[in-house]
Amino acid sequence: MALHAKPLQLNTADAGFEAAFAARLHWSADTDAAIEQRVADILADVQKRGDAAVLEYTQRFDGLQAPDVKALEITQAELKAALDSLPAAQREALQAAAARVRKYHEAQKKASGESWSYRDEDGTLLGQKVTPLDRVGIYVPGGKAAYPSSVLMNAIPAHVAGVQDIIMVVPTPVRGSVATGGSGEAAVSSRGERNELVLAAAYVAGVTRAFTVGGAQAVGALAYGTATIPKVDKITGPGNAYVASAKKRVFGTVGIDMIAGPSEILVLADGSTPAEWVAMDLFSQAEHDELAQSILLCPDAAYIAEVQAAIDRLLPTMPRRKIIAKSLNDRGALILTRSMEEACAISNRIAPEHLEVSSSEPHRWEPLLRHAGAIFLGAFTSESLGDYCAGPNHVLPTSGTARFSSPLGVYDFQKRSSLIEVSEAGAQPLGRIAAELAYGEGLQAHARAAELRLNPVPPMREPT
């Protein structure tokens, strides 16, 4: 039987729309109690036994044999050699993408990541000092989801923020060994499968040190530190269920970025973009994995039919057509709306990770779009340009979390300290206000600390 890809067709004017729409959007991260328990055990073991535990799990899960964790470190010379070994076109593309991502994040730092302060009339100084984190860990998946572009997108903002130590961990499982975090017998070797493009990206992005470890054991090593792998302040980067569970568990000991769900694209189309372009954009999300979600919102029924025809025509040409078809059949949707305005309103309900405004007048609709990880304006702005090299980060909030969270950025690798310097003159009115409120809250030491700076110092009030 021929492969087909028929996203669910919906019409906002239909009575059953709301229910069908909600069902199609539904996704929930199942927490697997068995995985959680195993991850808790691995983390406790790494915290207790350090390097020895990391070595053992790396051998067991990745089939990688090494005399010590030091032997799992990839040197800067090896990273550079990986870059040098690339075909020229690939090397230049990587460097060009890195340069654009760096430029964008430098602008981001300038616009929203600098220290600031002001002085009151009485000389009191108020502000915030913005400083980089000291050391961060970047988790890079091995195997089929090894994306060098993700190395750039995680490491460059950290580098631009001014982070001194950027520690990358990337599993390099031995071919024929089980997946990281799995169990069972593994082929054991002293050399795992390294992805040269990933190592080259690490060199270009300014990674300081790199270790070929992965899974919960790598997250534990970064969170607690071992004799060889330094403890970091924050861990970012995507991973499988074991990695996600481990990141959640160490949150608080270290910072983490968001836990990502399946990737999504929403295309808002007015019918002015070639239908094949939109079809290919929907494919580009669907090809990630079967849970990825591609949705088209459009007020023009004839155009929706054109896009479906383009899907039918283009699907057989795609090497990853099986994944694309399953994703589009199970989770995709082509939704006919009453208007572009309604399409914008529905988009806000979805709060998509990627939002393409495939319209001849994108700036008419952009102000109506309140929630999205990234907004791609106009027909020439395919999501894939943003994924690789336009400049903005491709690590974006998924599953509707764009309602309350943001793209990965320089700000994720900085923290802020409030600065307060109260002058003697300023301490007089402020001290009276603070004391009044502190007595009201029953915190007399707070009140007295303020009052001791008053001239003259008033008598202490009795507690009420």
Q: Which residue has the tokens 């970091």?
A: 232
- Give the C-alpha separation, 174 to 116, whole Å: 50
Q: Which residue has the tokens 């970025």?
A: 257
Q: Which is nearer to a copy of itself, 65 or 384 (CB)?
A: 384
In the residue annotation, 354 being an active-site residue is answered as yes
Strands 135-139 and 165-169: parallel
Binding-site annotation, residues for NAD(+): 139, 217, 240
Q: Which is nearer to a copy of itself, 288 or 331 (CB)?
A: 288
In the residue annotation, 264 being an active-site residue is answered as no
Q: DSSP letters of 187-246?
A: --BS-----HHHHHHHHHHT--EEE---HHHHHHHHHH--SSSPP-SEEE----HHHHHH
**Cβ of residue 78: shortest distance to a copy of itself, in angstroms?**
19
CA neighbours within 13 Å on the CB side: how many for 367? 3
Length of the chain: 464
**Cβ of residue 399: shortest distance to a copy of itself, in angstroms?**
8
**Cβ of residue 79: shortest distance to a copy of itself, in angstroms?**
17
**Cβ of residue 139: shortest distance to a copy of itself, in angstroms?**
16
- Give the C-alpha separation, 234 to 400, whole Å: 24
C-alpha pair distances (Å), 354 with each of 93, 264, 298, 305, 391: 23, 6, 16, 23, 15
DSSP 378: S
Q: Which is nearer to a copy of itself, 15 or 88 (CB)?
A: 88
Q: Which is nearer to a copy of itself, 335 or 434 (CB)?
A: 434
Q: Which of 193, 354, 383, 394 is catalytic?
A: 354
**Cβ of residue 71: shortest distance to a copy of itself, in angstroms?**
28
- Give the C-alpha separation, 220 to 317, whole Å: 43
Q: Which of 264, 353, 356, 383 is catalytic?
A: 353
DSSP 455: S
**What number of helices (H) and strands (E) belong to the chain?**
17, 15
- Give the C-alpha separation, 87 to 435, whole Å: 69
**Cβ of residue 14: shortest distance to a copy of itself, in angstroms?**
25
Binding-site annotation, residues: 139, 217, 240, 263, 285, 288, 354, 387, 441, 446
Q: Which is nearer to a copy of itself, 106 or 342 (CB)?
A: 106
Binding-site annotation, residues for substrate: 263, 285, 288, 354, 387, 441, 446
CA angle in degrees (0–180, nearest 5) for 423-424-427: 85
Q: Which is nearer to a copy of itself, 13 or 437 (CB)?
A: 437
Q: DSSP letters of 142-184?
A: -GGG--HHHHHHHHHHHHHHT-SEEEEE---PPTTSPPTT--S
Catalytic residues: 353-354
